[in-house]
Structure 1
Amino acid sequence: MTRYAVGDVQGCLEPLQCLLEEVNFDAGKDELWLAGDLINRGPASLQTLRFVKSLGECTRIVLGNHDLHFLAIAFGTRKTGKSDTFDEILNADDCAELVQWLQQQHLFYSDPSGDYHMVHAGIPPLWTVTQARQYAAEVEQVLHSDQAKPFFEHMYGNEPAVWSDGLEGWTRLRVITNYLTRMRFCNPEGVLDFENKLATIDKPNFNPWFSYSRDQSTNIIFGHWAALEGKANSEGVFALDTGCVWGHALTLMNLETQHLHHCNCAN
């Protein structure tokens, strides 16, 4: 068995299939890890969901901010934005089935061996991997329940911008979600900077979340941050969003060898 992880697909199905063909991916014995943002802005969001769903039990998926945004729209708590490309999914005969399937995915995934952990945006410096997994499970429990709609009603917002153990209710779940699916820069206390989406620092005392000290024995896979161009420059941290939807490449990593494969198929 070989485990492969891929960055933000965002509806770019052709490059994904290109990469899987390149590595001779076998859904019967290999695993495909997807670091979130399966859909939105690319040309084939509906087809991407159908394809990934058809792969069955070989997939390991964490949800990204675009995936959660789609679910909020599907649940009727948010309107489609001008840059969203969800109409084809929303109008599909199997939309309800796809929504239910996507709703059952996770925000954090750890391999049973403990050698790799995957999250869409990252892990803030004030959390351990164990805490990140536990807090993600709090959100997942709600997503998988009949409380999903009220969760989406309260999910949006930048406040509070920092974690506190005393947070409760929807506020607590919003902060957890923001860390796991939206974070790029933060300060050492975990205060988030939601404005800067570039790769360069523009505020004193704010740095990429992965630049702070952490357990170096853990390997963390994440997407979300296309501006990094796949370069986290931090031991054991693998940035896999290389901006395919923006005309760049989709990146697939062999987790056994850490070899990177890139596909520049036309979007």
Structure 2
Amino acid sequence: MKRYFMTDIHGDARGMKALLDHVGIDFSVDQIVFGGDMINRGKDSAEVVKFVKNLVDTFPNNVHAVVGNHEEMLSDYYRSGDKTWLHHGGSEALKNFNKTFTDDADRQSHLEWATSLPLLFEDEAFVYTHAGLNPHEPLNKQSREILWMSESVLYSIPGTSLLALTQNKPIIHGHTPVEYIYFDGVRLNCDLGSNTYSIEEERGLGLVNLTEMTYFIYKQAQKKIEKRKVVQI
């Protein structure tokens, strides 16, 4: 069994499927965790949610997903009318959901699934979460504020404190876009900036092979895939 992690897909259904096909994941044997922020920015938010939910439903022992802050904003919009989500790609995502799911009940079930995902997933090797963990809260009682934790805050926490919380399991996460993936023995940020661009570099969507400590990045502008090694520091 190999362990994989993909996070911050942000509506890129094409890149997501291309990466999964490229590495040839066997979902009946291999494990993959999706790290939240499936929606917004890209044009296919509904298709991403539909695809991931189907995988989780079909392979519940091997495919897992956790919630991200963009799903949290979606939840706030539907439960309390908070319009923050609409200003962060939600307006376009909402149109996409309405177009993809013509059946109201089907659309609602997918939205409820995406917003009710757990804050974290834990296996024998790692703890997976969207953005970070609070070392002052028990692992099973983390507050939802961790969905918004920046990389600078997470990496300012002593590694010993985090490993004491996780019983020496490294934390696999996303949320803060990076150009390359580094592993400091405690934290591994896998968000390669899907559907975000900067002047210095073009970013993409990543799929990390945690068993081999390698990763594949789908460069969205060129529609090509590159393989890289995780840099251990």
User: Unpaired segments of 5 or more residues in structure 2?
Assistant: 198-202, 224-233
Q: What is the distance in 2 between the residues matched to 1:70 and 1:265?
A: 25
Decide whether the 8 Å contact of 1:230 with 1:238 is kept in 2: no
More deviation in 32-41 or 232-241? 232-241
Alignment of 1:18-57 (within 5 A): 18-55=18-55, 56=57, 57=60
| 1:86 aligns to 2:86 (yes or no) | no
Decide whether the 8 Å contact of 1:107 with 1:120 is kept in 2: yes
| Deviations, residues 43-63 of structure 1 (Å, cap 9, x unaligned) | 100111111111132321111
| 1:59 aligns to 2:9 (yes or no) | no
Q: What is the distance in 2 between the residues matched to 1:102 and 1:54?
A: 12
| Deviations, residues 10-33 of structure 1 (Å, cap 9, x unaligned) | 111111111101110122222221
1:243 to 188, 193, 202: 193
Instruction: Pick closer, same or farther for the CA change 1:83–1:3 going to 2, 3 Å.
Output: same
| 1:261 aligns to 2:209 (yes or no) | no
Q: Which residue of 1 aligns with 2:108?
A: 96
More deviation in 240-249 or 228-237? 228-237
Q: What is the distance in 1 between the residues matched to 2:50 and 2:3?
A: 21
Decide whether the 8 Å contact of 2:34 with 2:65 is kept in 1: yes
2:150 to 184, 199, 221: 184
Q: Whose strand proportion is higher, 1 or 2?
A: 2
The secondary structure found in structure 2 opposite 1:21 is: helix
Q: What is the distance in 1 between the residues matched to 2:34 and 2:82?
A: 25
The secondary structure found in structure 2 opposite 1:242 is: coil
Q: What is the distance in 2 between the residues matched to 1:97 and 1:234?
A: 39
| TM-score normalised by the chain length of structure 1 | 0.68
Q: What is the distance in 2 between the residues matched to 1:61 and 1:34?
A: 4
The secondary structure found in structure 1 opposite 2:11 is: coil
The secondary structure found in structure 1 opposite 2:87 is: coil
How far is the alpha carbon of 1:81 from its aligned partner? Answer: 2.2
| TM-score normalised by the chain length of structure 2 | 0.77
Provide the identity percentage: 25
Q: Which residue of 1 aligns with 2:228?
A: none
The secondary structure found in structure 2 opposite 1:211 is: coil
How far is the alpha carbon of 1:220 from its aligned partner? Answer: 0.7
Instruction: Pick closer, same or farther for the CA change 1:125–1:75 going to 2, 3 Å.
Output: closer
Q: Which residue of 2 aligns with 1:222?
A: 173
Instruction: Pick closer, same or farther for the CA change 1:121–1:231 going to 2, 3 Å.
Output: same
Q: Which residue of 2 aligns with 1:135?
A: 141
1:72 to 66, 73, 76: 76
How far is the alpha carbon of 1:258 from its aligned partner? Answer: 1.5
How far is the alpha carbon of 1:212 from its aligned partner? Answer: 2.6
Higher relative contact order (CA 8 A, sep 6+): 1
More deviation in 2-11 or 95-104? 95-104
| 1:123 aligns to 2:123 (yes or no) | no
Instruction: Pick closer, same or farther for the CA change 1:47–1:110 going to 2, 3 Å.
Output: same
Decide whether the 8 Å contact of 2:43 with 2:93 is kept in 1: no
How far is the alpha carbon of 1:230 from its aligned partner? Answer: 4.0
Q: What is the distance in 1 between the residues matched to 2:153 and 2:181?
A: 12
Q: What is the distance in 2 between the residues matched to 1:116 and 1:225?
A: 19
Q: What is the distance in 1 between the residues matched to 2:153 and 2:77?
A: 30
User: Unpaired segments of 5 or more residues in structure 1?
Assistant: 137-175, 186-206
How far is the alpha carbon of 1:122 from its aligned partner? Answer: 0.5
The secondary structure found in structure 2 opposite 1:244 is: coil
Work out the number of aligned pairs and report it: 199
Supply the RMSD in Å over aligned alpha carbons.
2.2
